[in-house]
Amino acid sequence: MKKLLLIGLLGFGGWQYYSDNQTGTHSLPSISSFAPVTSKIQAAPQPSYTCDGREHCSQMRSYEEAVYFIRHCPNTKMDGDHDGIPCERQFGR
Protein backbone atom coordinates (compact mmCIF):
# COMPACT_ATOMS: atom_id res chain seq x y z
CA MET A 1 0.00 0.00 0.00
CA LYS A 2 2.81 2.42 0.87
CA LYS A 3 4.67 1.53 -2.33
CA LEU A 4 1.58 2.20 -4.40
CA LEU A 5 1.10 5.57 -2.69
CA LEU A 6 4.75 6.47 -3.29
CA ILE A 7 4.51 5.50 -6.97
CA GLY A 8 1.35 7.57 -7.29
CA LEU A 9 2.95 10.59 -5.65
CA LEU A 10 6.04 10.32 -7.87
CA GLY A 11 3.86 9.95 -10.96
CA PHE A 12 1.78 12.97 -9.99
CA GLY A 13 4.89 15.00 -9.26
CA GLY A 14 6.37 14.06 -12.63
CA TRP A 15 3.17 14.94 -14.42
CA GLN A 16 2.97 18.26 -12.54
CA TYR A 17 6.59 19.03 -13.42
CA TYR A 18 5.97 18.20 -17.07
CA SER A 19 2.78 20.29 -17.27
CA ASP A 20 4.46 23.22 -15.49
CA ASN A 21 7.34 23.12 -17.97
CA GLN A 22 4.90 23.28 -20.83
CA THR A 23 3.39 26.51 -19.48
CA GLY A 24 6.65 28.11 -18.41
CA THR A 25 6.50 27.64 -14.61
CA HIS A 26 9.05 25.42 -12.90
CA SER A 27 7.78 24.32 -9.51
CA LEU A 28 7.24 20.90 -8.04
CA PRO A 29 4.56 20.39 -5.43
CA SER A 30 6.06 19.73 -2.04
CA ILE A 31 5.31 16.44 -0.34
CA SER A 32 4.10 18.36 2.71
CA SER A 33 1.30 19.91 0.64
CA PHE A 34 -0.44 16.56 0.37
CA ALA A 35 -2.83 15.52 3.14
CA PRO A 36 -1.81 12.29 4.87
CA VAL A 37 -3.82 9.22 4.00
CA THR A 38 -5.47 7.68 7.02
CA SER A 39 -7.28 4.39 7.09
CA LYS A 40 -10.51 4.01 8.99
CA ILE A 41 -10.34 0.23 8.76
CA GLN A 42 -8.99 -1.38 11.89
CA ALA A 43 -7.41 -4.78 11.77
CA ALA A 44 -9.18 -7.46 13.73
CA PRO A 45 -7.27 -8.48 16.84
CA GLN A 46 -5.33 -11.65 16.30
CA PRO A 47 -6.43 -14.51 18.52
CA SER A 48 -3.81 -15.95 20.80
CA TYR A 49 -4.88 -19.53 20.08
CA THR A 50 -2.42 -22.16 18.89
CA CYS A 51 -2.93 -25.69 17.66
CA ASP A 52 -1.78 -27.64 20.69
CA GLY A 53 -3.37 -31.02 20.11
CA ARG A 54 -6.78 -30.34 21.67
CA GLU A 55 -9.55 -31.97 19.64
CA HIS A 56 -12.75 -32.07 21.74
CA CYS A 57 -15.36 -29.54 22.88
CA SER A 58 -14.69 -30.32 26.52
CA GLN A 59 -11.18 -28.92 26.02
CA MET A 60 -12.39 -25.55 24.65
CA ARG A 61 -12.90 -22.46 26.81
CA SER A 62 -15.00 -20.45 24.33
CA TYR A 63 -16.95 -20.72 21.11
CA GLU A 64 -14.39 -18.49 19.36
CA GLU A 65 -11.60 -20.82 20.43
CA ALA A 66 -13.51 -23.83 19.08
CA VAL A 67 -14.08 -22.04 15.76
CA TYR A 68 -10.36 -21.26 15.53
CA PHE A 69 -9.49 -24.89 16.17
CA ILE A 70 -11.83 -26.35 13.54
CA ARG A 71 -10.62 -23.84 10.95
CA HIS A 72 -6.88 -24.01 11.61
CA CYS A 73 -6.01 -27.25 13.38
CA PRO A 74 -6.02 -30.85 12.10
CA ASN A 75 -7.95 -33.81 13.53
CA THR A 76 -10.55 -31.87 15.53
CA LYS A 77 -13.69 -33.71 16.59
CA MET A 78 -15.97 -30.78 17.41
CA ASP A 79 -18.24 -30.50 14.36
CA GLY A 80 -20.05 -33.80 14.05
CA ASP A 81 -22.52 -32.63 11.39
CA HIS A 82 -19.83 -30.72 9.43
CA ASP A 83 -21.83 -27.50 9.25
CA GLY A 84 -18.95 -25.27 10.42
CA ILE A 85 -20.50 -24.70 13.86
CA PRO A 86 -18.45 -26.42 16.56
CA CYS A 87 -19.66 -27.59 19.96
CA GLU A 88 -23.31 -26.78 19.31
CA ARG A 89 -24.54 -28.43 22.49
CA GLN A 90 -21.84 -26.92 24.71
CA PHE A 91 -22.10 -23.35 23.48
CA GLY A 92 -25.78 -23.36 22.45
CA ARG A 93 -25.32 -22.23 18.88
What pLDDT is attached to residue 29? Answer: 62
Report the amino acid identity of residue 39.
Answer: S
pLDDT of residue 89 exceeding 60, the answer is: yes
CA distance 86 to 63: 7
What pLDDT is attached to residue 77? Answer: 94
CA distance 1 to 87: 39
The predicted model scores a pTM of 0.49
Q: How far is CA 84 from CA 45, 49, 71, 80, in A?
A: 21, 18, 8, 9
CA distance 78 to 50: 16
Same domain, 68 and 25: no
How confident is residue 31, by pLDDT bands cut at 50, 70 and 90?
A: low
Question: In the chain, how many domains are there?
Answer: 2
User: Does the residue 84 lie in any domain?
Assistant: yes
Same domain, 55 and 76: yes
Same domain, 29 and 49: no
